[in-house]
Every structure is written in structure tokens, then in C-alpha cells.
Amino acid sequence: MTTLALRPVATGRKGHRRPLGVLIAAAVLALVVLAAALAPLIAPYAPDAIDLSASLAGTSADHLLGTDSSGQDLLSRVLHGARTSLIAPLLLLAVAAVLGVALGVLSAWHGGWIDALVSRITDVMYAFPGLLFTVLIIAVFGTGTTTSVLALGLAFTPTVARYTRSLALSEVRKPYVDAYRVQGMGGTRICALHLVPNLGRSVLGYLVVLFGEAVMSLATLSYLGFGAQPPSSDWGLMVQEGQSAVVQGALLPALVPGTAIALVVVSVNVAGVWAADRLGSQD
């Protein structure tokens, strides 16, 4: 063991930035977004074009990333799947942002019993570990992309609400709030026109950090069969469909979409933390 002196870890992230990693992550994300946008133009096949004669083919000039058990081209499916796999997490964050900011600002503005009630509700939701709250909602309302997005949006709400509340608590004490109140402006108007816009940057940075988890959670739901349903080429669903072929020795059908998910989540996390730092520091 070396005689290296241990010092407390620096709390700021500034000294630990790795611009190269961030650049690579941003490049990967840009490529994925481009692929999603141009999927119909650049995909060599239709995502649901079945060719049973080419079942479980390996990589070749015809199928760059091979095919699944129905002979569907994996490259085309992954390219098309980028759309649902990126847009659905954005929608769920939008749901969580609207509900979470509303509840957080409401709690901070009113305080008292409303604050206590909201915080008790979030406590109960936090008693469900991991995805279990979402799973309960899906058990009640049935499976599907819409239910998954709304259920996850609801499950992400307490996190956003707590964050917003902590920011808003110090914001409501600022002089401009009283100034507007003296001018006779109502609480709702002050919140909607001035308070929320002022919190916007920080909340946005927080949402960026949550995006990776949103992608991961939605992919997990699809994998479990709770989210996107066949014939969708959602990545999580593709992993589930490709899994049976793994035992037969055909790894590509599960590994190609699995790698796509991991790559996007890693890139989002690397670039997201950096972007959130930027958004936070310019306040």
C-alpha cells in the first residue's frame, strides 16, 4: 500500500471535466438523433419486412448487423427504433416536468397544509422501490406505450417536485416577488410569469440529468412487455424478442438493440452532467 495522503474529494465538478469524453458522447447523441430523423431514408429495409429465408443471418453485405428470427433486418429496426426510444422518454419527462414544477411551486408558495400534504404523497410514492409504482399503475390500466409514458411520468414527478420546491423556497423570498405583490399581482400570475421562468434553467438542467434514467426505465418496461407492443421496433422490445435466439447462439438480435440502449444512456449521462453543470453555473 502506498503512503499516499488521502484528502477530501473536491466537491465541485469543475476540476473533473473530461471534454474529450463529453465530445464523444455528444457526437454519439448527434448521430443517434440524425439516425432517428433520417431512418426511413437511410434504412436499407422496412423495419417490419419479414424474410423467413434470411432468419438469424449473421453480418453480411445484405444485412450489415444481421437479422432476427423472422429475418427482419436489425440495422433497419434499430434505426427506426431510435425514434420511439428517444421521443417516449422526452414525453415522460415533459409530463413529470409539468406536474412536478406545478406541485413544487405550489408547495413552496403556500406552505402549511398543502406543503405537508404534497410531501406526504411523495413519501408514499417513495415507499415503492425502483419501478414498482409504475408497475402498479400498469397492472391497473394495462400495458402499452401511452400507459408506460404516463405512469413513468407520474413516477418521476415526486423527484422533480422535491427539487423544484427546494429551489422555489429561496426564490419566493426574493424581493421581486413582494414587489409584484405590492403592485397587486395575484399569486398565480407571479408564479406563472416570473417565478417558474426564473427556475426554468435549473429545472431544465435537472431534467437533462434525469433523461438517461428515463431512457433506461422505458426500455426496461418495453423489455418486460409492459411498454411498446409488437410489431414496434422499440429497442427494449427488440431485446426481449431477440433473447430466445441467444440460447441458439445467435447473439446479434439481442445485443444490437441492447448496445444501442447502453450507448445512448452512457452518452446522455456523460453529456447530461456536463450540460447540467453549464445550465446551473450560469444562473
Residues that bind other proteins (CB under 8 A): 1-9, 120, 123-124, 127-132, 135-141, 143, 212, 216, 219-220, 223-226, 236, 239, 243, 246-247, 249, 251, 254-255, 258-259, 261-262, 265-266, 269
Closer to other proteins by CB, 74 or 239: give it.
Answer: 239
User: What's 195's DSSP letter?
Assistant: I
List phi, psi (to 5°) of 73.
Answer: -70, 120
User: What's 228's DSSP letter?
Assistant: S
Instruction: Extract the C-alpha cell encoding 170.
Output: 429561496
Shortest Å, Cβ 143 to other proteins:
7
Closer to other proteins by CB, 6 or 61: give it.
Answer: 6
In this structure, how many other beta carbons lie within 10 angstroms of the beta carbon of residue 272? Answer: 23
Q: At which residue does the C-alpha cell 500500500 appear?
A: 1
Shortest Å, Cβ 251 to other proteins:
5
Q: Is 142 left (phi over 0), alpha (psi -120 to 50) or beta?
A: left
Closer to other proteins by CB, 57 or 238: give it.
Answer: 238
Q: For residue 221, give the nearest of 110, 145, 125, 128 by alpha carbon.
A: 145
Closer to other proteins by CB, 187 or 225: give it.
Answer: 225
Residue 67 bridge partners (DSSP): 73
Closer to other proteins by CB, 205 or 258: give it.
Answer: 258
- State the amino acid at position 241 in one-letter form: E
Q: For residue 253, give the nearest of 42, 71, 80 by alpha carbon.
A: 71
Shortest Å, Cβ 102 to other proteins:
21
